[in-house]
Amino acid sequence: MKKVWIIIVAALAGSVSFAQSKKLTLTNRLAQQRPDERIVLTRDQVNSKVKLSAEKPYCIITTESGVPKVIQFDDLDGDGNWDEAAFLGTFEPKQKQVFLISASKSPATVKAVVRAHVRHRHKNADNTFADAVDTDTMPYNNQPTDFSKQKLPPYLTEGPAWENDKVGFRKYFDVRNANDIWGKTTAKMVLEEVGADPSVSYHHFNPAWGMDILRVGKALGAGALALQMPVNGKDSVFRFGTNVKQTTYKKLADGPVRAIFRISYQSWQVAGQSVDVTEEISIWGGQYFFENKVTLQNAPAGARLITGTIDFYETGFHPVKTKGITGLYTFGIQSENHDKLGLAILAPAKQVIHTAPLNAGGIANTFGVWLNPQKQKAVYRFYSCWEKTDPVFSNETAFTALLQQQSDAWNNPIRIK
């Protein structure tokens, strides 16, 4: 079972020998402010600064004046040792920040503001929902819930849901395999309660938290996946979900800084091929996107991944082309609340083949992004910016400015030294 250590590190008298502290320098190379920038230190990076040991297996990070950082230590491979230390930082243009990092025997564990969360919960026989599970296997060819026959689905909001202090998402844990969006009006984590009471519809706006804002239908929704591969000399499109020998969910990390989970599709039988696919989805506090790292194995030569967003309205789609980052966006009155919503998909330019409408393989009403996996791997980010989350997103120029800033930041990560 994966463990997550949630830590606020503080300079406690006598707990750390600051004579053994080393400097950790983080530099913003861009001439733009970068709020809530994602910082990851691998265990090897920390170990190169301060020698970790059985006696001192953690690190403590403070500013030079002793201000603590909220750090999340994640054990991603399940070996009982943390692999990555994650925290958020805000940087002014061209700013260099210097921190002190030290090895520590036992971090001070205190309650922190949770800014990211993932959960997957089963329905009980009495129509309540059980505690969240860390792992789960989907029944073979699991069908969508028929709400004319039952009021609640077998999983809370039909499958895994993930959120931060800006936006939330969910994945249908059935053959549809689409992603949906929770538009949020609060920074609080709400997805443990949403959908638990069938008399309260999440399809209607609730000023206390928001609502389900995306029409999905037969579209890929919010960045779900399909595969294009040659069959008898002709490219064919196949939607993920059906004829998978085993589809599994696994939580890897859960707040307060970020949440990560994995969906694995083992032995997907598609056009006479047996293909394995893994999605590793993460969401961080302060961001308007989730990131998906996709691994594709045993696919035939010429196979391409496709992700996409909805095409139900008269918004059209617009290409995004910046240095190193490519994708598309849509903007307009396209939320289920009939107000303005900006949606976008960004990916490294070297992976993007093209963007175009997609209506094939049981997929409709979709603007697609075709990805060429590099060494069987691909990564993309899906953005959702609703005007009720922040009124600035009632303006398309503000939305595209965010995408430009995000593209620049992705292409120029914070330098760690």
Q: Stretch 244-262: mean pLDDT, rounded?
A: 97
Per-residue pLDDT tens over the stretch 47-100 = 999 999 999 999 999 989 888 899 999 999 999 999 999 999 999 999 999 999
Q: Where in the chain is the domain with CATH 2.70.98?
A: 113-417
What is the model's pLDDT at position 109? 61
Specify the 3-state DSSP secondary structure of 338. Answer: coil
Overall fold of domain 113-417:
Beta-galactosidase; Chain A, domain 5 (2.70.98)
Question: How would residue 27 be classed by pLDDT, with cut points 50, 70 and 90?
Answer: very high
Q: Which amino acid is at 125?
A: A
Check whether domain 4-104 has CATH 3.10.150.10, yes or no: no
What is the model's pLDDT at position 148? 94
Q: What is the mean pLDDT of the chain?
A: 94
Percent of the chain surpassing pLDDT 70: 94
Q: Stretch 129-158: mean pLDDT, rounded?
A: 97
pLDDT above 90: residue 366: yes
* Measured distance CA(184)–CA(366) in Å, rounded: 24
Question: How would residue 231 be classed by pLDDT, with cut points 50, 70 and 90?
Answer: very high
Assigned token pair, 190: 């709400």
Assigned token pair, 390: 């922040």
What is the model's pLDDT at position 66? 86
pLDDT above 50: residue 11: no
User: Which residues are bridge partners to 206 per DSSP?
Assistant: 210
What is the model's pLDDT at position 123? 98
Question: How would residue 110 be classed by pLDDT, with cut points 50, 70 and 90?
Answer: low
β-strand pairing of 377-386 with 70-74:
unpaired
Element (H, E) at 402: helix 396-411
**8 A C-beta contact, residue 114 and residue 283:** no
* Measured distance CA(324)–CA(49) in Å, rounded: 31
Q: Stretch 235-264: mean pLDDT, rounded?
A: 96
Q: Where in the chain is the domain with CATH 2.60.40.1180?
A: 4-104
What are phi and psi for residue 145, nearest 5 degrees? -70, 135
Question: How would residue 400 be classed by pLDDT, with cut points 50, 70 and 90?
Answer: very high
Element (H, E) at 49: helix 43-49
Assigned token pair, 102: 């030290």
Per-residue pLDDT tens over the stretch 146-183 = 999 999 999 999 999 999 999 999 999 999 999 999 99
What pTM, to 2 d.p., does this model score?
Answer: 0.94
pLDDT above 70: residue 10: no
β-strand pairing of 340-348 with 84-91:
unpaired
Q: Stretch 335-350: mean pLDDT, rounded?
A: 98
Percent of the chain surpassing pLDDT 90: 89
pLDDT above 50: residue 203: yes
Q: Which amino acid is at 248?
A: T
Max CA pair span of the chain: 71
* Measured distance CA(222)–CA(382) in Å, rounded: 7
User: Which residues are bridge partners to 60 per DSSP?
Assistant: 102
The single-letter DSSP state of residue 203 is T
Question: How would residue 106 be classed by pLDDT, with cut points 50, 70 and 90?
Answer: confident
Question: How would residue 255 be classed by pLDDT, with cut points 50, 70 and 90?
Answer: confident
- With vertex at residue 34, the alpha carbon angle to CA 412 and CA 409, rounded to the nearest 5 degrees, is 20
Q: For residues 68 and 404, which has the higher predicted lDDT (pLDDT)? A: 404
CA-CA-CA-CA torsion for 137, 181, 86, 53, nearest 10 degrees? -10
Q: Stretch 319-336: mean pLDDT, rounded?
A: 98
What is the model's pLDDT at position 67? 84
What is the model's pLDDT at position 68? 85
User: Which residues are bridge partners to 297 per DSSP?
Assistant: 276
Q: Which of 21, 92, 113, 114 is nearest to 62 (CA)?
A: 21
Q: Stretch 339-364: mean pLDDT, rounded?
A: 98
What is the model's pLDDT at position 80? 94
